[in-house]
Amino acid sequence: MPSKKRRRKEERPKIHPKNKYSDNPPDFALLASLYPSFKPFVFYSREGRPKIDWTDFNATRELTRVLLLHDHGLDWWIPDGQLCPTVPNRSNYIHWIEDLLSSDIIPKTNSNGDNVRGFDIGTGANCIYPLLGASLLGWSFVASDVTDVALEWAERNVKSNQHVSELIEIRKVKCSQNTHTPEVLNNTESTCSEEGEGLPSSSFHMPESKDKRYHGPPILVNVVRDGEKFDFCMCNPPFFESIEEAGLNPKTSCGGTHEEMVCPGGEKAFITCIIEDSAVLKQSFRWYTSMVGRKVNLKFLIAKLREVGVTIVKTTEFVQGQTCRWGLAWSFVPPTKKIIAPHVTEKNIISFMLEGLQRQFGAVQVLQSVESFFHAVGASCKSNASTFTVDITASTDHCNVLLRNEVKHHDEVASCSNVQEASPNLCFRVSVFQQIPGTLLIKGSLQHRDSPLSGLFSSIIQQLEDALRSKFCREKANF
């Protein structure tokens, strides 16, 4: 039992070390003693621990208000029904962007010296990211939104804080005739879940909209003006495909209008549109970023980024209490140095560890899954149970299907035996090695380094790694 607790503690990502709340989480008792308006919302558990009712929107809103005032010197308010952000979680996102900007992954192209300029997509009535970024780090922002209520209250929150008001521009997004405004899509408001800010647990059935494409107002293209340059953009996208889905997990209330919570296709469609806009704007931004609510969407979005030809992709996990979010960042700026993934030891050999395997799974089951993974797209597979290896031969079409994450039945894809001899193939071996109980080493070895497809080898092994982790490992987030 102690080993399980120790493993769980080691696997749990931490709040960003620069976050004001990393070592000192909000003290509800202290805040209640200092702010009488917050006191009615605080009660005590049997153990004497101060708590608030996370299902009470008024309580969560008042907590955000006093935290912004007490810890950041910001006067802030939002009307009923608007999305109420959690300050520690939003601070994580700000500090991650700070890390990206200060890194030497891509060259600094800012002609304004140390003046950092950001773009907040869909700032909402709360305008939380510009307020935090300006007050904590002195960044300037353009904050966009489409609804009158969001624009009015974002402007109020900016003007209420004269010490940062000159740093923040609120920009109205103008809808074209070919797009549907949020009001046309739906005017309903929702109450969503707690710390997850609306994200239901995986046990709920997720209703899906028929149209997975984004048809809403402009996001970046036609909002960013000609000649404008930014160091980054950031976004807390609408996570859900329907208002019913947004209300599935009523653990707590963070408010949230339909415009803030829902769009056809959910976050996957919305972030895909940001990616497509970024392919047009290219180096108008040093970094494009977005928060992602569901880990399962990351693989699709990263594949989409490969399609548009980005130079670098970075991911992270944001943690606050029991809430997890993921951050996705990409750039079209050429990197300052060649980036080599940490699990690549040689150009023709790539290995990774499968840790935390469930007891019923071992090398045999993993080897069978490796064979099934490649066989599903029609690749030729020859396994050897005695040496725990699988030899794979994949055509260009097979590789493209894998990298698009569109695994089909093998009958739908031509097998390697039917491929013309002149067609290039990618040949490699996957070996499975037992390490310690619950841990396997998976090694991919490229057989012909001069193949025209050898450049795809690393990405294909990464897809295999993701699939095996998803199937065999305990829930674990390493980004």
Cite the annotated binding site for S-adenosyl-L-methionine by residue number: 90, 122, 145, 236
Closest CA to 275 of 228, 328, 323, 345: 328
The whole-model pTM stands at: 0.64
pLDDT at res. 212? 72
In the chain, the domains with their CATH numbers are 81-107+114-175+215-331 (3.40.50.150), 349-402+424-472 (3.30.310.80)
Residues 6+ apart with CB under 8 A from 59: 41, 52, 53
> Which tokens belong to 128?
């939380």
User: How many CB atoms sit inside 10 A of residue 54's CB?
Assistant: 17
**Given this model, what pLDDT does residue 90 score?**
93
pLDDT digits over 88-142, tens only? 989 999 999 999 999 888 888 766 667 999 999 999 999 999 999 999 999 999 9
Specify the 3-state DSSP secondary structure of 352. Answer: strand
Q: Which residues contribute to the annotated binding site?
A: 90, 122, 145, 236
Grouping H, G, I as helix, E, B as strand and the rest as coil, residue 227 is: coil
Q: What are phi and psi of 121, to 5 degrees?
A: -80, 120
Q: How many CB atoms lie within 10 A of CB 47?
A: 5
Report CA dihedral (140, 145, 149, 152) to the nearest 10 degrees: 30
User: CB–CB of 435/411 below 8 Å?
Assistant: no
- Residue 11, judged by CB atoms within 10 A of its CB (0-12, 13-18, 19+), counts as middle
In the prediction, which pLDDT does 133 show? 97
Q: What is the mean pLDDT of each run of 10 residues along the chain (479 residues)?
A: 45 75 93 97 95 93 97 96 89 95 83 84 96 97 95 98 97 72 37 36 38 82 96 86 51 51 77 96 96 88 93 86 82 74 54 77 89 92 89 89 57 36 78 74 83 83 88 55
The span from the CA of 290 to the CA of 305, in Å, is: 13
- pLDDT for position 112: 63
Is 176 exposed, middle or buried, given 0-12, 13-18 or 19+ CB atoms closer than 10 A? Answer: exposed
Q: What is the pLDDT of residue 478?
A: 37
- What string of DSSP letters covers 362-396? -HHHHHHHHHHHHHTTT-EEEEETTTTEEEEEEEH
Q: What is the secondary structure of 267-334 as a DSSP string?
A: HHHHHHHHHHHHHHHGGGEEEEEEEES-THHHHHHHHHHHHHT-SEEEEEEEEETTEEEEEEEEE-SP
